[in-house]
Amino acid sequence: MFVINCPYCGERDQSEFSCGGEAHIVRPKQPTELSDDEWAEYLFMRKNIKGVQFERWNHAHGCRKWFNMVRDTSNDKIHAVYKMGEKPPVI
Amino acid sequence: MTKYRINKTRFVDQTKTVSFTFDGKKYHGFEGDTLASALLSNGIHLIGRSFKYHRPRGIMSCGSEEPNAICQINDNTDLTEPNVRATEIELYEGLKASSQNCWPSLNFDIGGINNLISPFIPAGFYYKTFMWPKSFWKKIYEPLIRLSAGLGKSPTQPDPDIYDHKHEHCDVLVIGGGISGIISAKIAAKNNLKTILIEDKNILGGSTIYQNNKNFIIDNQKSNEWLMNEISELEKLDNLIIKTRTSLAAFHSYNYLLAKENISDHLPIDKKNGSIRQRLWKIRADKVIVAAGAIERPLIFNNNDRPGIILANSVKKYLDFYGVSTGLNNIIFTNNDSAYETAVSLFEKGISVKIVDIRKKSSSNIVKNAEDQGIKIYWNSTVVNTFGYKKIKSIEIMNLSEDGSNVTGNKHKIQCDCLSISGGWTPMVHMHTQSGGKLDFREIDQVFVPTEKSENHINVGSCNGDFELEEIVKNTNNKVKKFLNINEGGFDKISVLCSKESEKKNIWLLPNTISESKTKSFIDFQNDSTAKDIKLALREGFKSIEHVKRYTTTGMATDQGKLSNMHALGIIADTAGVKMGTLGTTTFRPPFTPLTFGAIVGRSVGKFFDIVRKTSIHEWHVQNNAKFENVGQWKRPWYYPINNENLHEAVQRESKAARDSAGILDASTLGKIDIQGSDASEFLNRVYTNAWSKLGIGKCRYGLMLNEDGMVYDDGVTTRLGENHYLMTTTTGGAANVLSKLEDYLQTEWPELDVYLTSVTDHYSTASICGPNSKKILKKLFPNKDFSDEAFPHMSYQDAMIDKIECRIMRISFTGELSYEINVESKYGKSLWENCIVAGEEYKITPYGTETMHLLRAEKGFIIVGQDTDGTMTPIDLQMDWIVSKKKYDFIGKRSLYRSDTMREDRKQLVGLLTDDPNEILEEGAQIVSELDKKPVEMIGHVTSSYFSPNLNKSIALAVVKGGKKMNGQKLIVPMENKNINVTVSDFIFLDKENKRINA
């Protein structure tokens, strides 16, 4: 149970948040132009890193804002949180 | 005083007698006793039978590591509790305890025969034996194994006790109230840090509090007296919370910890009433100091499990803390100095004691002390056997060979009534590893100690591998000061004198003259696994400690291997010829000691288990005899039985009324999302499969929402209230998920869109009136309104008033009937509903529930997302191609509709099913096949909705069938347990395909 520093609300208990999986996967602008394989790559393929991972999180039971978070999945250390649209930090 | 209560101590009040029963017989103990100390004071050692061999077992320890003395507490059907450790339960007036795992009685146990046939039931016996014949498993083996499995009896009635949860924050949490915990807590609290100290026993002080020995001196006082003063000073500090009877259950990441406080378990039965039984503390601590202590190890030798064989330090605690002698003719068997403290303590009270030590000598103060007093010590010796069935009577010892790998010389028999054993100490590293910490193996005394890396927690005292009083006090002071960034600890100039151990020797499995296969050297006492079992597992090819553990069940009992894990590791390492440090340990998982389910769920029981949502009309439904069903958290009227109608009868009546005259449904639970913003139309275009740009103001449209994978996610009618203003409805169960999905796209994919979403589900109540007479009822409710088809056509919306109450009326239909939905602010919901009932009286308006709603929509072939779909259905599968826009460039899920898999023609597709016998109603979920002769019979689909339609006077069903689109008219079979039902594939719109009723 970690403590997450919501970029809008500040530090809150993990139970207020939900994880939305890997971050920085952009929805293709022209899906119809893509082959089945390319579309499947966007739709299904996710990394599951042991180590530093960029993730989407939602302050579901708080401000309901989505934001990004850099977390080490091997020890749950949170390296950074940043708003949607902001440039990912270099870790 | 009983024969074994030989000492008066300050911890047990011998003026206050407490009576209790064990196996139905009445005994007495004193206030301050545990069940174990009270039984021992009555000379009772035999407490239970072992799990596998049913060997007699007695009390072995004085704490949570106890493997043998587990009892059933209470005998009533609701409060009885199995597997309670006698060493942990505080004695109270009226306590009823009984032994477990024996039949017909503890003293004569039929299961004891397992002990005689034990050569035939080695490790893995079950896996090897019950493999064949295969047909025996279900009828013979499994019932038999289930009969003998499990310890104790579960309560058969709901738990009447109250449990509680509490959240707490602090600067410093100290786990353990022994000497190192007390020093830590005092340093923290004196430096203005909000500190919590938790201790699982009823008083602070650990083992030092009864260490009344001149070899252990702090600041010129005996260590117990020094500590007593420290505790009384500690209790005066006001930023320190001391929680006794509170044990740590789990240490999670980010210093989030769970601790269980026993509040009324120790109270006499008449004082427990109404009080909270246990409280689970959820603590978020800035810093955590673990001072969890260490557990004494047993020694592993032949027949080391008899009642009367007790850990040496526990013998000392029973003597010096409870005033109870565990025997009058003691032998101590040890590999280290700490057991000599027990010997000296026994000797000083005039109790006979001899020592068997596997070492060749020891030159420490405490050993010298014992020798000076004339205690007989057998050096370089080991116990090779013990005797006495229900209580130890004697032991046989032999000399060890030079390297300790064998025994030499003659056997020497010694009489005794108690054998104290000590194999050294194991630091309690559970908390450290639970929090993610790693361990190092320390060769010199063969212990795993914490690797200190975390900035947020440290380990102090014996759980950190500091066993001698001087290093405990000094290291704790220094570490805590550094950890908390404090200059003056208050213990900097302290002087500590103690006995120091110089000779160390450890043999994991002590040698014997007879072959290993004929010995019973128990490692895990509770699960009856022996050294022989571990070696067998290794011979059979198990290498990983995790595999050996599961194969032999070592460490898998309710004590979670607190006494057994180290020996199992040691024997594996010795046998396999590897170093223990490289072998690693098994995983230490929470909880540290068993937690009650009550403590875990706290107050979330009964009506507090989940939130219950009720519409503003709920009260009317209750008064009108509605039966309710749960839809998500909502209570929705299911049907309204009249007189003694059952579900079927009520639904037939309600459905008929809705089609013949008028019906009314509480539709308030449908999810409602208010959508505003200049890009609202564009947004809807992107989230629904159909086009929205051209929807006029005041018009309604049905929409289907997909996931990005092309599967149907939700559906509902959305109304355009204004130029930039829509009201979306969702399914009742899907409302929250739809909102969060839409928010996700808005915030992350399309932040450029000017759209605002607000959940308004609770803001409005909805009465849905349907049936041929609905228009007449609406006219009565809104006399000034023009309800002609021209003025108010199907799929449109208008504002109206009842008195001064604003209403939104949508002419939309989920039943296939002419239908109106009237929305008002929630607070007027009930009044609106009652108005509708009054207005509809002359048309016999009939309230109907969800079951009738489902039937009516099925007649019309409308799907229910989640019933007729399951996350694998595309709109094309549902034969809803008409709602998928070909013109729109993109919408959520569009691309996936053209994947090779979603375009397959043999996907399961929605069809109607008619039974050949029109009175036969299919079961929802039933499987559908096309032929029975070809084995294996292929399942080609399943029934999703099924009803008897009173309006069509026949059974109808919706189903999904592979390639169903092209199967109209084809005969299929629904095989049931007792018969096969013949069905014919049909159109899934059973009634009024021409929409005459809706447009009536």
Task: Give the end-to-end CA distance of chain B in Å, rounded to a whole number.
Answer: 96
Residues in A closer than 8 angstroms to B884, CB to CB, are none
Q: What is the ipTM of this complex?
A: 0.97
Buried b (16+ CB within 10 A) or exposed e, B250-285: bbbbbbbbbbbbbbbbbbeeeebeeeebbbbbbbbb
Closest by CA to B292, choosing from B596, B562, B566, B489, is: B562
Residues B655 and B775 in one domain: yes
Whether B49 is in a domain gets the answer: yes
d(CA B908, CA B643): 42
Strand duo B954-962 + B939-949: pairing = antiparallel
CA B219 – CA B546 distance, rounded (Å): 47
- In CATH, what number is assigned to the domain containing residue A8? 3.30.2270.10
Closest CA to B679 of B744, B740, B723: B723
Q: What is the C-alpha to C-alpha distance for residues B70 and B880, in angstroms, rounded to an integer?
A: 64
User: Other CB atoms closer than 10 Å to residue B518's CB: what's the count?
Assistant: 10
B→A contacts (Cβ < 8 Å), by residue, are 252-254, 256, 284, 436, 708-709, 740, 743-744, 747-749, 751, 889-890, 894-896, 898-900
Compute the half-sphere exposure of residue B424: CA atoms within 13 Å on the CB side of its CA. Answer: 23
Q: Which residues does A84 contact at the CB level (< 8 Å), separation at least 6? A: A65, A66, A67, A68, B747, B748, B751
B737 exposed, middle or buried (CB, 10 Å; 0-12, 13-18, 19+)?
Answer: middle
CB B364 within 8 A of CB B470: no
Q: Which residues of B touch A76 (CB under 8 A)?
A: 253-254, 436
pLDDT < 70 stretches in chain B: 1, 103-104, 110-113, 116-117, 119-121, 125-132, 144-150
Amino acid letter, residue B726: Y
What does the radius of gyration of chain A's CA atoms come to, in whole angstroms?
15
User: A32 vs B895: CB contact, 8 Å cut-off?
Assistant: yes
Q: Find the domain containing A68 and state its range.
A: 3-27+35-83
Query: CB of B324 within 8 A of CB of B34?
Result: no
The pLDDT value recorded for residue B129 is 67
Whether residue B144 is found in the same domain as residue B227: no
Q: Which residues pair with B699 in a beta bridge?
A: B796
Give me the DSSP letters along B125-190.
Answer: HHHHHTTSSTTHIIIIIHHHHHHH-SSS---SS----EEEEEEEEEEEEEE--SHHHHHHHHHHHH
CB contact under 8 A, B747 and A84: yes
Structurally, how many domains does chain A consist of?
1
Regions in chain A scoring below 50 on pLDDT:
none
Residue A22 lies in a domain: yes
- Among chain A residues, CA nearest to B169: A13
Q: Least CB-CB distance to B254: which of A2, A43, A58?
A: A2
Reference B202, options B92, B106, B116; nearest CA is B92
Residues of A in contact with B890 (CB under 8 A): 30-32
| Of B992, B914, B997, the residue nearest B948 (C-alpha) | B914
Residue B740 inside a domain? The answer is yes
Q: Do B788 and B908 share a domain, yes or no?
A: no
Answer yes or no: are the C-beta atoms of B41 and B62 closer than 8 Å.
Answer: no
| Contact between chains at B900 and A64 (C-beta distance less than 8 A) | no
Task: List strand residue ranges (DSSP E) for B309-351, in order.
Answer: 309-311, 329-334
Give the closest-approach CA distance of A79 to chain B in angstroms: 13
What is d(CA B69, CA B15) in angstroms, rounded to the nearest whole number? 27
Bond into B591 cis (ω within 30): yes
Is residue B137 domain-resident?
A: yes
Same domain, B895 and B950: no
How many of the other CB atoms lie within 10 Å of CB of B169?
12
The closest alpha carbon to B688, from B854, B858, B880, B862, belongs to B880
Using CA coordinates, name the residue in chain A closest to B250: A1
Domain edge (last residue) among B160, B181, B213: B160
Tell me how far apart the alpha carbons of residues B7 and B723 are, in angstroms, rounded to a whole number.
90
User: A interface mutation test: which of B604, B747, B749, B889 has the most A CBs within 10 A?
Assistant: B747
B747 and A1 within 8 Å at the Cβ level: the answer is: no
Closest CA to B868 of B945, B956, B947, B957: B945
| Interfacial A residues in 8-67 facing B (CB < 8 Å) | 13-14, 20, 26-28, 30-32, 34, 36, 39-40, 43, 56, 58, 60, 64-66
Query: Looking at beta carbons, which residues of chain A come within 8 Å of B169?
Result: none
The answer to whether residue B279 sits within a structural domain is yes
CA B499 to CA A44: how far, in whole Å? 66
Q: How far apart are CA B114 and CA B110, in angstroms?
A: 9
A61 neighbourhood in chain B, CB within 8 Å: none
Q: How far apart are CA B160 and CA B273, in angstroms?
A: 10
Looking at the fold, whether B281 and B331 belong to one and the same domain comes out as no
And the tokens for B343? 């010997």
CA–CA distance, B220 with B193 (Å, rounded to integer): 30
- Counting the structural domains of chain B, the total is 5
Candidate from A36, A60, A75 with C-beta closest to B740: A60
Chain A residues with CB inside 8 Å of B749's CB?
Answer: 26-27
Residues B581, B382: Cα–Cα separation, whole Å: 26
C-beta separation of B824 from B765 below 8 A: yes
Q: Are residues B226 and B131 in the same domain?
A: no
Give Cα B693 to chain centroid, integer Å: 51
Nearest in space to B227 (alpha carbons), one of B237, B241, B216: B216
The shortest CB-CB distance from A66 to any of B436, B744, B899 is to: B744
Structural domain includes residue A89: no
Domain containing residue B217: CATH number: 3.50.50.60
Residue B104: asked if its preceding bond is cis (omega within 30°), the reply is yes
B739 is written with which tokens?
């909102």
d(C-alpha A6, C-alpha A3), whole Å: 9
Determine how β-strand B671-676 pairs with β-strand B756-759.
antiparallel
Q: What is the CATH number of the domain that holds B135?
A: 3.10.20.440
* Tokens at B313, concatenated: 């330090």
Domain extent at residue B794: 618-899
Separation between Cα atoms, residue B223 and residue B590, nearest integer Å: 33
3-state secondary structure of B277: strand
Residue A88 lies in a domain: no
- End position of a domain, from candidates B477, B497, B517: B497
Residues B867 and B945 in one domain: no
φ/ψ region of B292 (left if φ > 0, alpha if ψ in -120 to 50, else beta) reads alpha
CA distance B663 to A61: 39
Nearest to B379 by CA among B355, B395, B402: B355
Q: Tell me whether residue B555 is in a domain.
A: no
Q: What is the DSSP string of B249-273?
A: EEEETTTEEEEEEESSTTS-HHHHT
B76 plus B100 within the same structural domain: yes
Q: Extract the tokens encoding A21.
A: 């999986």
Domain match, B686 and B827 both: yes
Task: State which of B497, B518, B539 marks the end of a domain.
Answer: B497
Beta partners for B44?
none
**Residue B104 pLDDT:** 67
Going by the DSSP 8-state scheme, the letter that residue B295 receives in this structure is E
Cα torsion B410, B413, B414, B417: sign: positive
Separation of alpha carbons B884 and B521, rounded Å: 74
Contact state of B894 with A43 under an 8 Å Cβ cutoff = no
Q: Is B882 in the same domain as B949?
A: no
Q: Is A84 on the interface with B (CB under 8 A)?
A: yes
DSSP H helices, B484-561, are: 531-539, 545-552
Q: Is residue A56 part of a domain?
A: yes
Domain annotation covers residue A73: yes
Answer yes or no: do B683 and B771 share one domain.
yes
Question: How far, CA to CA in Å, does B379 sit from each of B121, B367, B397?
Answer: 37, 12, 11
pLDDT in tens, B504-537: 999 999 999 998 888 999 999 988 899 999 999 9
A91 in any annotated domain? no
Q: Do A32 and B889 touch (CB under 8 A)?
A: yes
Let me know whether B951 and B989 are in one domain: yes
